[in-house]
Amino acid sequence: MQMLSRAWRHTLVRHATLAVLGLLVAVVVLMSVDDFRNRQLTELAYMALAAGGLTLLTGINGQISLGHGAFMAIGAYTTALLLQDPETALPLPLVLLASLLVALVVGVLVGVAAARLHGPYLAGATLTLAIAVPGIARYFSTTLGGEQGLRVTSPEPPAWFLDALFFLTGTEPSNSQYYAILGWTLLVVVFFLLANLIRGRVGRRWAAVRDDEVAAELAGINLARARVSAFTVSAAVAGLAGALMAIQIRLAAPTAFELTLSLTLLTAIVLGGLGTLSGAIIGSVVLVYTARIATDVGTAQGLDSIAAAELAPLVYGTVMILVILLAPAGLVGSLLRWRAARAARGADRRTTPPAARPTDPHHPDGPADQQRRPVATTKGDQP
C-alpha cells in the first residue's frame, strides 16, 4: 500500500496510469455507441486537444491568443493537401506528423514575434492571425480551393486496426469509430505529454514567467525562450487538432476556421478554468454539448434549423456569464481553489494561527501594502 502511494507520487507513474485508464474507457465507450455519437465524440476530442494546447499557452504561460483557430487551419490544410490524391496519399501517421510540424514551424515564427508583445498588443496580433489565415486560404484558390475549400479523402482504417478491434470486441469498427478512437488516442497521448511538461521543470518555468517576469528572469529563466517554447508547443498541438478535424469533417474550408473557432477555444479554457488540462476537457464538453442541446431544443420547439443553430451562441454567452459570476476561476479552477483553501485551513489549525498583519491596519508595522514608502517619482515597472 505504502509502495503504491509512493509510486503514485511519481509523475510518470501517475500520468501513465491515468492515460492508460483513460484510453481503455474511451475505447469501450466509443465501441458501444452509434456513429452519430462517435462523430460527436471525435469533435469533442479535437476541440479538447486544441483547448489543451491553448491552456498551456494562455493558462500556464500567460500569453493570450485570439488566433489559435489559425493553427488548426494550418494543420487541416496540410492534411487536406497530403490526402488529396488517394493514389499518392502518405500513411496517416505521417500526415498527422506533417500537419503538426507545419503548425509547429509557423508557431515558432509567430511565437518569436509574440514574445515581444504584451496584453492588448498580443491579443491584436493573434486576432490578425485568426483573420488572415482563412483569407490566405481564400486568396490562393487554385491550390487551397478558395471559398469551397479542399475535400479531404479520409483514410480507411488499416487492416491491423480492424483485426485488433474485432479480436477485442467481437465487432468490426465503422469508419466513424475509427476516427473517434484515433482522436481519443491522440488526445490521451498528447495530454499525457503536456501533463508531464506542465508538472515538470519546463511548466514551472512557463508559470513563473506568467506570474512575475522580473523574478523569473532573476531565477535564471530566459523569458524569450520560455515564451517561444510555450507558443510552439501550443501551436503544434492545435495543428494536430486541425488535422483530426479535417479528417472528421472531410473538408478544409475557410468558413470552418473563422474567428468564432478561436473564440470558442478561448471560451472553453475560460469555462474550464485557466491553467488545467482537465479544465480544457470540461470546457470543451460544455461547449460542444450545450451547442447540440440548444439546437435540439430549438428544433423541438418548432424553430427552423437556422434559428435553432443561432441559439448556441446565446447559450454559450449565458453559460460564460454564469461561470464568470459564480465561479470566476472556472469550473475546475474553483474546485482546486476550494480544496486549497480547505487544506490551508487545516494547516493553520495544526500550526500557529497566522499573523494578522497583511490586512490588519492596527498592527505596529501597518498593513503590508501600505508599508511601501512613498517615492518621489513613478518608477514604472522597474524591478
Partner 1 sequence: MPASDQVAHATPDPTSATPSATATPALELRDVTVRFGGVTALSAAGLRVAEHTVHGVIGPNGAGKTTLFNVACGFLRPDEGQVVRRGETLARLRPHRLASYGMSRTLQGLGLFDRLSVLDNVMVGADRHGRSGFLGTMLALPGATRDEDRLRERAMEALERLRIAEHARRYPPSLPYALRKRVALARALVAEPTLLLLDEPASGLSSEEMDELAALIGGLSGEMAVMLVEHHMDLVMKVCDRITVLDFGKVIADGSPAEVQQDPAVVAAYLGDDVADLDADTGPATDPATPTEA
Interface residues toward partner 1, by CB under 8 A: 10-12, 15-16, 193, 196-197, 200-205, 207-208, 210-212, 214-223, 229, 275, 340-341, 343-344, 347, 350-351, 354-358, 364-366, 368, 370-377, 382-383
List the grid coordinates of 191. Answer: 495530454
Q: Which does 88 bind (CB under 5 to 8 A by kind): partner 1, ligand ATP, none?
A: none
Give the residue with the Cβ less far from ligand ATP, 349 or 379: 379
Does residue 325 belong to the site contacting ligand ATP (CB under 6 A)?
A: no
Handedness of CA 247, 250, 253, 258 (dihedral sign): negative
Does the footprint of ligand ATP cover residue 370 (CB under 6 A)? no
- Provide the minimum distance between the beta carbon of 371 and ligand ATP in the complex, in angstroms, as a whole number: 12
210 binds, among ligand ATP, partner 1, none (CB under 5 to 8 A by kind): partner 1
Q: Is 382 in the site for ligand ATP (CB under 6 A)?
A: yes
Can residue 346 be called a binding residue for ligand ATP (CB under 6 A)?
Answer: no
Residue 132 touches which of ligand ATP, partner 1, none (Cβ within 5-8 Å per kind): none
Residues 168-187 touching ligand ATP, rule: CB under 6 A, are: none
Looking at beta carbons only, is 179 or 206 nearer to partner 1?
Answer: 206
CB of 365 vs ligand ATP, minimal distance in Å: 17
Q: Does 350 bind ligand ATP (CB under 6 A)?
A: no
- Please identify, using beta-carbon distances, which residue of 355 and 375 lies nearer to ligand ATP: 375
φ/ψ region of 303 (left if φ > 0, alpha if ψ in -120 to 50, else beta) reads: beta
Q: Which residues pair with 252 in a beta bridge?
A: 150
Q: How far is the CB of 62 from partner 1 (least distance, A)?
A: 9
For residues 227-254, one letter each, b for 16 or more C-beta atoms within 10 angstroms of the residue's C-beta and e for the rest, the string is: bbbbbbbbbbbbbbbbbbbbbbbebbbb
Q: How far is the CB of 215 from ligand ATP (least distance, A)?
A: 17
Considering only the stretches 18-26, 47-55, 67-75, 368-376, report the one whose residues sit in contact with ligand ATP under the rule CB under 6 A.
368-376
Whether residue 267 contacts residue 283, with contact meaning beta carbons closer than 8 Å, is answered with: yes
Contact partner, 37, from partner 1, ligand ATP, none, Cβ < 5-8 Å per class: none
CB of 261 to partner 1, least distance (A): 27
Single out the segment in contact with ligand ATP by CB under 6 A; choices: 33-41, 203-211, 324-332, 371-379: 371-379
Distances (CA, A) of 374 to 263, 361, 362, 363, 380: 42, 17, 20, 19, 14
Contact 235, 107 (CB under 8 A): yes
Span of 16-24, 159-167, 241-249, 369-377 interacting with ligand ATP by CB under 6 A: 369-377
What mask of x and - would describe binding to ligand ATP in positions 277 to 306, judged by CB under 6 A?
A: ------------------------------
Which CB sits closer to ligand ATP, 86 or 380?
Answer: 380
Q: Out of partner 1, ligand ATP, none, which partner does residue 344 contact, by CB within 5 to 8 A per kind?
A: partner 1
Which CB, 85 or 381, lies closer to ligand ATP?
381
Give 25 or 347: the residue with its C-beta nearer to partner 1. 347
Cα separation, 36 vs 48, in Å, equals 18
Rg (CA), the chain: 23
Q: Which stretch binds ligand ATP (CB under 6 A): 51-59, 121-129, 253-261, 373-381?
A: 373-381
List contacts with ligand ATP (CB under 6 A). Answer: 373, 375-377, 379-380, 382
